[in-house]
Amino acid sequence: MSGAGVPPNVAYRWRELVTRCIFLPMSAILTRKLRSVFQTRDLSLLWAGQVISMSGDSIYQIALLWLALELTASKAITGLVAMSSYLPAIFLSLVAGVVADRADRRRVMLYADAVRTIAIFGIPLASVLGILSPWVLVINAFVIASAAAFFNPAKDSIIPQLVPQSGLLRANGLIQTSWQLAILTGPAIAGGLLSVTGLIPLFAFDSAAYATSFLTIWLLRARPENVPTAAQSGQRSSVVERIREGSGEIKRGLKFAAGNRVLLPLLLITVADNLFIMGPAIVGIPVLVRETYNGSASDYALLAMAFAVGMLIGTAGLLIWGRHIAKGKMLLWGMVFDGLTFIPYFFAHNLLEMTVYSVIHGMAVPLLTVSRASLVQEVVPPEMRGRMFSLISLAVVGMSAFSSGFTGLVLEVITAPTLFLIVGVVGGLCGVIGLLFAKQLRKQN
């Protein structure tokens, strides 16, 4: 019947009431939250570029190690390929830190992305030319990691030039989500493309991703800082003088870190933790998937996605509650959690259980990475920041090189599940030692 239902004027009033009382306030709250997280145009550009480039990079890491396993069927050689992805941090980190402190950080990042764009495209080119071999993978991984050794301290050091100091924790949390989203989207893309294109075209996709990152960094307008450089002072130095000046800058950076009661224990604990943890995480996971569960590259990508989901959950928690937790305690408890959440890998019976455990393990990582970056940015003066981030990179990435090479050899003797049980216990103990003895770090807000 035509008169049934709610009268039009009543329905209109209800719609208007719902719009004014619910939708508009919620939209305003969401807008304010997004503005508080993204903060500035430049931070948003950096975040977008990192999401894209790291998505490509996560594809690269999956494709690189799986391609090494396919070419050689050797866990030791796969460990060597993984090791070559981290060795440059040992040789170049200190120099890269000085460059990040003395040069235009934005320009350093541009050069690094240009190198990575070109170098990664070398793998599909080598495949077309018929010269692809494990040694080509080793050299390519070394070049990519060398560029990253310069890019990463410059990126971490430039963040205080993009946001006010009060927004550093949120900015670092946001930048961490770029890595986490990349690990989520990259493997999803890789899993979708693998069945259609195979492994080799994935490297071309990664090359295009770095080209996109280059564009976003080119658009940045970073706030200048009072960091003296030869270009600013109008002085021209000879090559010998520049080497001498650089050596002096490295020594000053090392002396500053050694004398700082927060940075020194932070560096020492980071070295110990990553020496045990990173190799199993990098080399052990694909071996576990391939040999223990007879899985495929797509299954490996699925575990990487689960790990990313966990990190996103952990970062969301930090963005909501992080300001109420002392950063030193956050880092040390995160280290304990990071180690202990490897132990369930020993008890997993199938890939579904591994997926759940990967989510749980991923939740620990932001506690380490976000708090560590924020501590360095707050404790270290701008003229030293690049060198301190390079030391962090040396502690993390450098130890990953040794850990990856050693893990490949260990896996020739013991099974992957047993390895994860051992490193889970040892990794958790590193955090416990920090809580017991690194008093100044533990108290750092």
| DSSP label at residue 132 | -
**pLDDT surpasses 80 at 444:** no
- Residue 29, token pair as written in the block: 């709250």
- In the chain, the domains with their CATH numbers are 39-224+238-443 (1.20.1250.20)
Sign of the alpha-carbon dihedral angle for 363, 51, 269, 80 = positive
pLDDT of residue 343: 92
pLDDT tens, residue by residue, 37-85: 455 778 888 888 888 888 888 778 777 877 887 787 777 777 777 777 7
Are the C-beta atoms of residues 332 and 266 closer than 8 Å to each other? Answer: no
Q: How many CB atoms neighbour CB 14 within 10 A? A: 11
pLDDT of residue 224: 63
The three-class DSSP label of residue 342 is coil
**∠ CA(37), CA(366), CA(268), 5° rounding?**
130
pLDDT of residue 8: 55
Are the C-beta atoms of residues 199 and 187 closer than 8 Å to each other? Answer: no
pLDDT of residue 112: 92
pLDDT of residue 232: 45
Q: What is the mean pLDDT of residues 314-333?
A: 78
**pLDDT surpasses 60 at 303:** yes
The most confident of the ranges 109-123, 176-190, 299-313, 369-383 is: 109-123
Alpha carbon distance 215, 93 (integer Å): 25
**pLDDT surpasses 80 at 185:** no
pLDDT of residue 243: 58
Q: What is the mean pLDDT of residues 270-275?
A: 84
pLDDT tens, residue by residue, 363-390: 888 888 888 888 887 888 877 877 888 8
Of the candidates 217, 202, 156, 220, the one whose C-alpha atom is nearest the C-alpha of residue 57 is: 202
pLDDT of residue 34: 44
Alpha carbon distance 287, 49 (integer Å): 31
Q: What is the mean pLDDT of residues 78-107?
A: 79
- Residue 128, token pair as written in the block: 């077309």
pLDDT level of residue 290 (50, 70, 90 thresholds):
confident
- pLDDT averaged over every residue in the chain: 77
Q: What percent of the chain has pLDDT over 90?
A: 4
* CA 33 to each of CA 173, 319, 363: distance values in angstroms, whole numbers, following the listed order: 14, 10, 22
Backbone angles phi, psi at 386, to 5 degrees: -60, -40
* CA 27 to each of CA 20, 22, 30, 33, 40: distance values in angstroms, whole numbers, following the listed order: 10, 9, 5, 10, 20
Q: What is the mean pLDDT of residues 92-109?
A: 82
pLDDT tens, residue by residue, 209-268: 889 889 988 888 766 664 544 444 445 555 456 556 667 777 888 888 888 888 888 888
| DSSP label at residue 19 | I
**pLDDT surpasses 50 at 1:** no
pLDDT tens, residue by residue, 392-405: 877 887 777 778 77
> Higher-confidence residue: 327 or 347?
347
pLDDT tens, residue by residue, 135-155: 888 888 889 888 988 888 888
Of the candidates 308, 291, 279, the one whose C-alpha atom is nearest the C-alpha of residue 81 is: 279
Alpha carbon distance 111, 51 (integer Å): 19
| DSSP label at residue 284 | I
Backbone angles phi, psi at 220, to 5 degrees: -70, 150
Q: What is the DSSP string of 343-398?
A: THHHH--SHHHHHHHHHHHHTTHHHHHHHHHHHHHHHS-HHHHHHHHHHHHIIIII
Q: How many CB atoms neighbour CB 83 within 10 A? A: 25
Alpha carbon distance 256, 398 (integer Å): 20
- Of 206-215, 239-248, 404-413, 423-432, the one with minimum mean pLDDT is 239-248
pLDDT tens, residue by residue, 16-35: 554 555 544 444 444 444 45
Sign of the alpha-carbon dihedral angle for 19, 20, 26, 28 = positive
Q: What is the mean pLDDT of residues 304-332?
A: 79
Say what angle helices 263-279 and 365-379 make with each other, to 10 degrees: 150
Are the C-beta atoms of residues 262 and 375 closer than 8 Å to each other? Answer: yes
pLDDT level of residue 128 (50, 70, 90 thresholds):
confident
Cβ neighbours for 346, distance < 8 A, ≥ 6 positions apart: 417, 418, 420, 421, 424
pLDDT level of residue 7 (50, 70, 90 thresholds):
low
Of the candidates 211, 114, 109, the one whose C-alpha atom is nearest the C-alpha of residue 150 is: 109
The most confident of the ranges 103-107, 111-115, 250-254, 303-307 is: 111-115
| DSSP label at residue 281 | I
Alpha carbon distance 71, 137 (integer Å): 10
- Of 74-88, 100-114, 293-307, the one with minimum mean pLDDT is 74-88
**pLDDT surpasses 70 at 13:** no
> Higher-confidence residue: 172 or 281?
281
